[in-house]
Every structure is written in structure tokens, then in C-alpha cells.
Amino acid sequence: MYVPVTKENLIEQLRVVFPELEEPYKAELQRWQGEQHPGNYDFLAFVFRPQFKKDLETRVITDFLRRSSAFFERVCTSGDLEAINVVWIKIFEWLIHRPKELKQLWPILGQATRAMIEDAAQRWGVTNNLPNTRSVE
């Protein structure tokens, strides 16, 4: 069953799609001892992105990267501006400054995700970091 991703269920949906992040999530919860739980931005930055980076460093399109691409597309097409903003800030703004990794991912990214990344690159003035789409499609 398709569940739209919103700011309210972003972490829950990430935990469903990426069960391998459960242990890093529990470790992050321990780090927050006595404080409120980590929010969406914290989860993406401290739980999701380390695994994302690790898989990108393999230079192979892994299952994790394929699921990441599909998840980004779900978020980008959700219409929930806050959920989109979390992924934009914690993943896309990070990714547009890593052209090799972005080129590697580009062929598996969905149309809405590519459009968001292109918009981020334009806003940050780094469109030269975008892959030459004629050579990767």
C-alpha cells in the first residue's frame, strides 16, 4: 500500500523502507538521552546520510541507493513542502557539491527528484556540477 510521505511520518517511512538503519537510529536516540527525540533533519543528517555516503563510496549502484532514489521520488512527489525541504537541505544540497556521486546516481533518480536537484543547483550557483544529461540518459 502506498503511503504518502509527510513531515509527520518521514522518520517512520524511512524506518520502514530502510530497516538496516534501525541500529544507527537507536544509537542516535541514545545520544539524545533525556532530550526530545531527533527530528526529521537530524535523522537524515545523522542516521540516513552516513549509510548513503558509504554506499556511494562503493561506486556501485547498491540496493540501498536504488531504494534511496525511489524514496526521494516519493518525497518529491508528495506535495508536503516540509518533507521535501528536509530532503532538499540534508541530501540534495549536500549532493550537488559532489558531482561524481551525483553523476553516478543520476540514471536511477526519478524525474521529480532530478528537477528538485537541478533547482537546488541553480539556486546555489553550481549548475556546472550537474551531470551532462545527454550522456547519461
pLDDT single digits (tens) 11-46: 999 999 999 999 999 988 888 876 678 899 999 999
Does any domain span residue 5?
no
Does any domain span residue 97?
yes
Quote the pTM value: 0.90
- Residue pair 101/107 in contact (Cβ under 8 Å)? The answer is no
Contacts 24+ apart (CB under 8 A), 114-123: 115/76, 116/76, 116/84, 116/87, 116/88, 116/92, 117/92, 120/88, 120/92, 120/93, 120/96, 121/96
60-108 pLDDT, tens digit each = 999 999 999 999 999 999 999 999 999 999 999 999 999 999 999 999 9
Does any domain span residue 2?
no
Whole-angstrom distance, CA of residue 60 vs CA of residue 70: 16
Domain count, the chain: 1
- Residue pair 106/136 in contact (Cβ under 8 Å)? The answer is yes
Does any domain span residue 35?
yes
Helix (H, G, I), strand (E, B) or coil at 2: coil
Does any domain span residue 130?
yes
Does any domain span residue 3?
no
* Domain housing 95: 10-136
**Weakest mean pLDDT among 33-37, 52-56, 114-118:** 33-37
Instruction: Decide if pLDDT at 134 tops 50.
Output: no
Instruction: Decide if pLDDT at 137 tops 50.
Output: no
Does any domain span residue 92?
yes
Does any domain span residue 30?
yes
